[in-house]
Amino acid sequence: MRRRGVRKLVNNLMLAATGVCTLLTVSVLFVILGYLVWNGGKSIDWDFLTKLPLPQGQVGGGMANAIVGSAVMVGLAAVIGLPVGFLGGIYLAEFGNKAFASAVRYMADLLNGVPSIVIGVFAWTVVVAPMHSFSALAGGFALSLMLIPIALRSTEQFLLGVPRSLREGALALGAPQWKMVATVVVPAAMRGILTGMILGVARIAGETAPLLFTALNNQYWPTGLNQPVAALPVMIFTHAMSPFDDWHRQAWAAGLVLLAMVLITNITARWVLSRGTAVQKG
Partner 1 sequence: MSAPAIAVKPKRRVWSGDQSARLLTLVFAASVLLVTVLLISQLWQSSGPSRAKFGLHFFAGTNWDPVAGDFGALPFVYGTLLTSVLALLISVPLGVGAAIFLAELAPPKWADACTFLVELLAAVPSVIYGLLGAFTIVPLLRDYVEPFLKSTLGEVPGVGVLFRGPALGFGYLAAGVVLAVMTFPFIISISRESLLEVPRDQREAALALGATRWESTSQVVVPYARLGILGSIFLGLARALGETMAVTMVIGNDPNIHASLLASGYTIAAVIANEFTEAVGKLYQSSLVELGLVLFLITIIINALARLLVMATRGKGTGTAA
- C-alpha closest to that of 148 among 102, 104, 112, 186: 112
Per CB under 8 A, which of residues 32..91 are in contact with partner 1?
A: 32, 35-36, 39, 83-84, 86-88, 90-91
Q: What is the closest distance, in whole angstroms, from the C-beta atom of residue 244 to partner 1 in the complex?
A: 14
Binding mask 243-272 for partner 1 (x = CB under 8 A): -----x--xx--x--xx--xx--xx--x--
Confirm or reject binding of residue 237 to partner 1 (CB under 8 A): yes
**Which of 51, 52, 133, 203 is in the footprint of partner 1 by CB under 8 A?**
203
Give φ, ψ of 212 to 5 degrees.
-55, -45
Q: What is the closest distance, in whole angstroms, from the C-beta atom of residue 251 to partner 1 in the complex?
A: 6
Confirm or reject binding of residue 196 to partner 1 (CB under 8 A): no
Confirm or reject binding of residue 165 to partner 1 (CB under 8 A): no
Q: What is the closest distance, in whole angstroms, from the C-beta atom of residue 96 to partner 1 in the complex?
A: 7
**Which of 209, 215, 229, 273 is in the footprint of partner 1 by CB under 8 A?**
209
Q: What is the closest distance, in whole angstroms, from the C-beta atom of residue 192 to partner 1 in the complex?
A: 17
**Which of 3, 5, 26, 245 is in the footprint of partner 1 by CB under 8 A?**
26
Among the residues of 51-160, which ranges form H helices? 64-90, 98-113, 116-123, 129-131, 136-160
For residues 249-277, b (16+ Cβ closer than 10 Å) or e, as one string? bbbbbbbbbbbeeeeebeeebeeebeebe
Q: CA-to-CA distance for 66 and 69, rounded, in angstroms?
A: 5
Q: How far is CA 198 from the centre of its chain?
A: 8
Residue closer to partner 1, measured from CB, 61 or 282? 282
Indicate the residue type of 110: L
Residue closer to partner 1, measured from CB, 35 or 220? 35
Q: CA-to-CA distance for 152 and 109, rounded, in angstroms?
A: 10
Indicate the residue type of 91: Y
